[in-house]
A = this chain, B = another copy of it.
Amino acid sequence: MKITYKGDYSLKAILDLALHYNKGVLPIQELAKKGDIPFKFLEQILLTLKKGGFVDSKRGVDGGYFLARPPETITVGEVVRFIEGPIEPVACANKDSYEKCKDFPYCVFKDIWSHVYTATSLVVDTVTFAELVRRVEALKNSNIETPYYI
């Protein structure tokens, strides 16, 4: 699994929308500013996330984006898989792709990739955006200095 800027920006935007869940829309401009994300790039990303059912939007004046599903139901892993593709280090780590590799029955590496895949999934598929919101709130209430915008 490798996280590109596109994935990073996606996660940041969704977290911002989760922090604003049930509180109306947030325009792209604001999300871009908050996340220090190039505006036109974020436009594309949000359109993709909309097609993926993660977010929804309202057009026109006072328009913007909002989370299409409750934060408890969205995991980091789901977003990463949607934006970045499969999280396994090689295709054969996924059981569905086993048969594609001619070396499958006797390859001593496949167990390694499977273990990496399992361990990675365990992390990213168990963290929801509701949990991330709680962590942000905890940071807000701590004495750690946070930028004004959180």
* Interface residues in chain A, defined as those with a beta carbon under 8 Å from any beta carbon in chain B: 1-3, 8, 11-12, 15, 36, 76, 89-90, 102, 105-106, 108-109, 112-113, 115-116, 119-120, 122-124, 127, 132, 135-136, 139, 144-147, 150
For the complex, give the distance between the alpha carbons of A112 and B120 in Å: 10
Q: Are A2 and B89 in contact (CB under 8 A)?
A: yes
Main SS at interface, chain A: helix
Q: Are B8 and A106 in contact (CB under 8 A)?
A: no
Q: Are A112 and B127 in contact (CB under 8 A)?
A: yes
Partner of A116, one of B8, B120, B144: B120
Partner of A112, one of B2, B89, B119, B123: B123
Residues of B within 8 A of A150 (CB): 106
A2-B3 contact given A108-B135, A120-B119, A120-B120, CB 8 Å threshold: no
Q: Are A8 and B90 in contact (CB under 8 A)?
A: yes
Q: Tell me the minimal C-beta distance from A142 to chain B in angstroms.
A: 9
Count of identical protomers in the assembly: 2
Partner of A2, one of B1, B109, B132, B145: B1
A112-B90 contact given A106-B146, A119-B119, A144-B105, CB 8 Å threshold: no
Most buried by B among A113, A136, A144: A113
Q: Tell me the minimal C-beta distance from A72 to chain B in angstroms.
A: 16
Q: Are A11 and B109 in contact (CB under 8 A)?
A: yes
